[in-house]
Amino acid sequence: MLRAMLRAPRHGRMLDDFTPGAIYAHPWDVTVDDGMVALFAASFCCATPTYSSRAAARALGLRDRPVHPLLLLNLGVSFSVHDVSEQAVAHLAYIDVRFPAACYVGDTLRASTRVLGVKPVSSGDKGVVHVRTEVRNQDDVLVCAFERKALVRAGAILARPPDPPHDVRHDGVEPARLPAVLAGDLAPPARLGGFATLFEDFVVGDVYAHDVGRTVSEAEAMQLATLARNSHPLHSDEVYAKTHSFARTRVVYGGLVLAWALSLSSRDTAGNAVWDLGLDDGAHPSGVLAGDTLYAASQVLATEALGPTSGSVTLRIVGAKNVHTRTLLEAGADLFTPELGKTTGKVPEKAVEITRTLLVRRRG
């Protein structure tokens, strides 16, 4: 009787498996449908009309309501986990996130990642991997591009299946910050009214402590991580998490935490936004667990008039867990200085921080 061979493949990579310049074509090939968009919208209460209203999107010259950029980012990060970070200890940074073209329901997305750098830490037991991921549709149109850094354990995975052949290339061309149809003067909005806070209302230095919080449910966090195709066991495998998680339980996928924080800020900052011009300098200073409640705060960093109908607004946005950002600010907490590198004034409640630049309508 023949004995079957036991196979135990592992995915992701450890530090010695990364080679600068290598390109990984991620295997996921996912068509975005109305159900996926609706489920995302049901969890992330975003106020930007372009992403929620077909009428608003078409008034801008887009052919339909586009897929929310934060859904694209979550898909891109999650697709890359299979080849990049399934063995990672932590996600360290979001860098230069851009959405150069609109993606629509019915588009099929795939992603690839190029390794930009590998840097062991002084202890020798782990290192930082710096990668760039591109998300493209079925017509090879780039709809999302970003860099990120992950902390990865030293060593190599002997049981990793070999990478299949592919013809993916990263051309190194800097992507645009918005679809071409939005680059000129904006058409009038689809309707009068809507949210407050137009471009002229933003004053550099002003701080918004956004009022309403958001408690993270266990089922929702699990379902959305799976929807995005995030395969890291830290988010879905309780047995794994008991020995590998800082909390000895599953940790909420950070891309979701980022999207919730930005959504909590959106009524006060993005209700008259038209497009996300970019995200940068983002990090997760601490992990979030099911049952934690998130609150958000924003500080205006810069404004620039781009023409008679629009301007760019750059915000530093912070998500805190289980303590309202207003309470932290009133107590003198240094919320808006990045946690990495702080020697004093650390804020243990800070769960996510990022710089967001928006294209915002001017007062007509």
User: pLDDT by residue for the chain (364 residues), tens digit each?
Assistant: 556 888 888 899 999 999 999 999 999 999 999 999 999 999 999 999 999 999 999 999 999 999 999 999 999 999 999 999 999 998 999 999 999 999 999 999 999 999 999 999 988 899 999 999 999 999 999 999 999 999 999 999 988 888 999 999 998 889 999 999 999 999 999 888 889 999 999 999 999 999 999 999 999 999 999 999 999 999 999 999 999 888 899 999 999 999 999 999 999 999 999 999 999 999 999 999 999 999 999 999 999 999 999 999 999 999 999 999 999 999 999 999 999 888 899 999 999 999 999 999 999 7
The answer to whether 10-158 and 195-216+252-364 have equal CATH topology is yes
Number of other CB atoms surrounding residue 326 within 10 Å? 16
User: Could you tell me the two tokens for 139?
Assistant: 């017509």
Assigned token pair, 143 = 């709809």
Extents of the domains making up the chain: 10-158, 195-216+252-364
* Helix, strand, coil share (%) of the chain residues, nearest 5: 25, 30, 50
CA dist list (Å): 250 to 55, 148, 239, 352 = 40, 22, 9, 18
Amino acid present at 288: V
Query: Is the domain defined by 10-158 classed in CATH 3.10.129.10?
Result: yes
Residue 212, Cβ density class (10 Å: 0-12 exposed, 13-18 middle, ≥19 buried): exposed
* pLDDT for the residue numbered 52: 95
157-195: b (≥16 Cβ within 10 Å) or e: beebeeeeeeeeeeeeeebbbbbeebeeebeebeeeeeb
CATH 1.10.1030.10 at 195-216+252-364, yes or no: no
Q: Are 178 and 359 in contact (CB under 8 A)?
A: yes
Q: CB of 359 within 8 A of CB of 274?
A: yes
What per-residue confidence (pLDDT) applies to 61?
Answer: 96
Dihedral sign computed on CA atoms, order 84, 90, 92, 95: positive
DSSP-H helix ranges across the chain = 34-43, 49-52, 54-59, 69-81, 218-227, 238-244, 254-269, 325-330
CA distance 225 to 221: 6
Q: Return the amino acid letter for 314.
A: T
Residues in the chain: 364
DSSP structure class, residue 40: H
